[in-house]
């Protein structure tokens, strides 16, 4: 079953396309990292998937063909937005009561037990909770609905490192205990690298890369060698991105996954998720290039 499936999906606001011609199929049972620069269309894609907005073009379904926004979808999807809709003047207990009355599926015992484990008092007002506690409360409200799909839109953006770690630990515990599928949008690549096993990379409103992380990493490698020979290598291999630093060049190359020998004078090494993401962000459109490509540009930043 695919938890999200899209074909030619697009969303236009007036004259600008926030998302265009997006096609993907995300299988169940994954923690999906949705990454991309600001304005790439991440929030738009998530809003389309949970039924908060309707597509301008194409189609999207969830949980094996269910239309987003229908009762069948709403009962099985929990969404935590970047600015979680928590009422600061209500107590934690009142937030539980309100959310329970707004949802047909609700596990009060689980919500209270989870808050007790986190030492979040039911009588305390939401506005007096720390940022980390508020994020955990929003996650508790989502998990108490026993969803099949948990969608998180930038939940870590305002949290300190310890709170981010605790939040992600809670998400992974839910994955282990309930088998929930997770789609997580975030700019914090280090956090995503520890937990994600599926990647969707958006840039300029289009899907650049989508697939299981292990397969994507196995299908790429990093080459290091003389900068003067980078152009020749780029002519023969599918180069995603080139970084030159003096006499040395680093090339991120698409491969067939086999143990291909490095060109003479070059060293080959595995690539990490952060290196992969940064390279494709620096080269929008590189993911759509078929076969060997000479797409290689000089960059003065950190090696991709």
pLDDT tens-digit map of 263-303 = 888 999 999 998 999 999 888 666 543 333 233 333 333 33
pLDDT at 212 over 90: yes
Phi and psi dihedrals of 25, rounded to 5? -140, 110
* 37-41, 83-87, 150-154: least confident range: 83-87
Q: Are 251 and 297 in contact (CB under 8 A)?
A: no
CB atoms closer than 10 angstroms to residue 240: 24
Q: Choose the CATH number for 2-214 among 3.40.50.720, 3.40.50.10440, 1.10.10.350, 3.40.50.300.
A: 3.40.50.300
Rounded Cα distance between 60 and 9, Å, is: 7
Pull the structure tokens for residue 251. Answer: 């090339």
Give me the mean pLDDT over the 55-65 stretch. 96
| Domain range summary for the chain, segments of one domain joined by + | 2-214, 219-288
pLDDT value for 82 = 80
Over residues 180-198, the pLDDT tens digits come to 999 999 888 888 888 999 9
pLDDT value for 257 = 59
Rounded Cα distance between 299 and 304, Å, is: 9
Give me the mean pLDDT over the 200-209 stretch. 90
pLDDT value for 285 = 63
Q: What percent of the chain has pLDDT over 90?
A: 67
Pull the structure tokens for residue 73. Answer: 């979808």
pLDDT value for 289 = 36
């Amino acid at each position: 079953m695919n938890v999200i499936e899209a074909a030619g999906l697009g969303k236009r606001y007036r004259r600008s396309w926030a998302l265009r011609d997006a096609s993907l199929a995300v299988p169940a049972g994954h923690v999906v990292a949705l990454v991309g620069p600001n304005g790439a269309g991440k929030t738009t894609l998530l809003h389309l998937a949970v039924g908060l907005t309707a597509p301008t073009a194409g189609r999207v379904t969830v949980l094996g063909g269910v239309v987003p926004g229908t009762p069948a979808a709403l009962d099985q999807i929990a969404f935590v937005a970047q600015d979680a809709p928590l009422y600061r003047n209500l107590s934690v207990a009142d937030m539980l009561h309100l959310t329970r009355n707004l949802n047909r599926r609700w596990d009060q015992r689980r919500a209270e037990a989870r808050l007790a484990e986190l030492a979040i008092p039911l009588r305390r007002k939401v506005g007096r909770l720390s940022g980390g506690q508020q994020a955990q409360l929003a996650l508790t409200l989502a998990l108490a609905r026993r969803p099949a799909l948990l969608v998180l839109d930038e939940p870590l953006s305002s949290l300190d490192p310890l709170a981010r770690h605790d939040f992600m630990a809670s998400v992974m515990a839910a994955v282990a205990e309930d088998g929930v599928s997770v789609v997580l949008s975030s700019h914090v690549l280090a956090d995503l690298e520890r937990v994600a096993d599926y990647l969707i990379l958006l840039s300029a409103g289009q899907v650049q890369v989508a697939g299981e992380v292990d397969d994507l990493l196995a299908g790429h490698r990093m080459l290091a060698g003389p900068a003067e020979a980078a152009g020749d290598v780029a002519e023969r291999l599918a180069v995603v991105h080139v970084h030159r630093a003096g006499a040395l060049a680093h090339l991120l190359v698409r491969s067939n996954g086999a143990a291909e020998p490095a060109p003479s004078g070059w060293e080959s090494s595995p690539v990490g998720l952060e290196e992969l993401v940064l390279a494709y962000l620096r080269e929008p459109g590189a993911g759509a290039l078929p076969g060997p490509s000479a797409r290689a540009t000089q960059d003065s930043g950190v090696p991709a």
